[in-house]
Amino acid sequence: MDEIKSKSLSELTEEIEKLGEAKFRAKQIYEWIHVKLVKDFDDMSNISAALKAKLKENYSFTKIRAERVQESKIDGTKKFLFELEDGNFVESVWMKYHHGNSVCISSQVGCRMGCKFCASTLDGLLRNLSPAEMLEQIYEITRLTGERVSNVVVMGTGEPMDNFDNLVKFIRLLTCEEGLNISQRNVTVSTCGLVPKMKEFADENLQVTLALSLHAPNDEKRKELMPIANRYTIKECLEACDYYYEKTRRRVSFEYSLVAGVNDNDKEAEELSRLLKGHNGHVNLIPVNPIKERDYKRSDKARIFAFQNKLEKNGINVTIRREMGRDIDGACGQLRRRHKEETPGVQGD
Ligand code: SAH
């Protein structure tokens, strides 16, 4: 059945008219779903029983359920493990910043990109998330915390560009004026570098921030960490980023996870500086979050600062990602994996 929560207002209007109902009903229903965040058709109090019955016949009302919530004692970050209706699990993170609340969502169940340091990809891809399932992570967190979300980052499990159509639909719904109306400028989409999709994304005329997971200053090193580097070169990725900037005037963010002894020496900082010179963007340094399945270690503080300094001296904009929720399985996919280990046989995967 079609998910009503994945329909745009114009799609919904068309369908409501097909059901022989007045057009304004579509707007009311859309508001119940995307502004008032009701949990089911029955909560739409100004919609007649007859129309509700028709809706139930034609559409499903996507739900997710928080199976686990972990709260960080350090910074109040909350990590949610959500169960989807088919029994699969995804995780989302809620972070409180001075400038507002931010939610990091998953875009797929698992991932097929195979990045070496990432826990989300260890069992491959199970399936894509629908627009409704991406939205619902934010909606359910809003219901549970009682606080408005102002920033959304698509940096949880999954490769968003590998689920392109649903991603774009999701962004349009999330930032729709008649819906939750989150500013596009407050949405960030992170990709490991699916070049053709990045260009298509630029052509969507959105105002969101694009982040490229770079993690290495040259192709050779990048291939060691990220299988996708065998398909697209860094040069091609940067060309796609330049195109994105040309089209949107949004500065791209280059993600660089620092792994001790792997990609964090001064020579690599110099090489990265040369690589990024002249590209409109800034570097986000992330101390790698070690996962137990792999032997990668985080660079120590002194090394991280030295790496940052080198970039700064070379005129590259750089920040060190503030670490949130380190005490609660902060790294992508860790909570889901842990849950799976603790409850064998329960999850569909
Ligand atoms: N697939 C997308 C988005 C999900 S990952 C992408 O590759 O960008 C979000 C970011 O976290 C990416 O930059 C990813 O490379 C990084 N990441 C994944 N696992 C990590 C870990 N254990 N430590 C640090 N960064 C990690």
CA-CA distance, 177 to 159, in Å (whole number)? 27
The CB of 286 under 6 Å from ligand 1? The reply is yes
Q: Rg for the chain (alpha carbons), in Å? A: 21
Query: Does residue 335 register a pLDDT over 80?
Result: no
pLDDT tens figures, 71-118: 988 888 999 999 999 999 999 999 998 889 999 999 999 999 999 999
Cβ contact 331:291 at 8 Å: yes
What is the mean pLDDT of the segment spanning 303-323? 94
CA-CA distance, 64 to 106, in Å (whole number)? 13
The Å distance, Cα 216 to ligand 1 centre, comes to 13
Maximum pairwise Cα distance, the chain: 69
Instruction: State the amino acid at position 305 in one-letter form.
Output: F
Residue 181 has which token pair?
């109306």
The CB of 117 under 6 Å from ligand 1? The reply is yes
Q: Which residue has the higher pLDDT, 276 or 1?
A: 276
Query: Does residue 346 register a pLDDT over 50?
Result: no
Mutate which of 159, 286, 295, 329 to test ligand 1's pocket (most atoms within 8 Å of Cβ)? 286
The Å distance, Cα 157 to ligand 1 centre, comes to 8
Instruction: State the amino acid at position 31 in one-letter form.
Output: E
Q: Which residue has the higher pLDDT, 318 or 335?
A: 318
| CA torsion angle 224 227 231 236 (round to 10) | -60
The Å distance, Cα 118 to ligand 1 centre, comes to 6
The CB of 228 under 6 Å from ligand 1? The reply is no
Lowest mean pLDDT segment, chosen from 3-12, 72-81, 192-201, 209-218 = 72-81
Give the pLDDT band of residue 56 (cuts 50, 70, 90): very high
Average pLDDT, the chain: 94
Q: Which are the catalytic amino acids? A: 91, 332
CA-CA distance, 193 to 230, in Å (whole number)? 11
Give the pLDDT band of residue 347 (cuts 50, 70, 90): very low
Instruction: State the amino acid at position 326 in one-letter form.
Output: R
The CB of 254 under 6 Å from ligand 1? The reply is no
If we measure between CA atoms, which residue out of 324, 323, 288, 285 comes closest to residue 306? 285
Query: Does residue 332 register a pLDDT over 70?
Result: no
Beta strands in 72-114 (DSSP E): 78-83, 89-97, 100-104, 108-110
CA-CA distance, 160 to 82, in Å (whole number)? 18
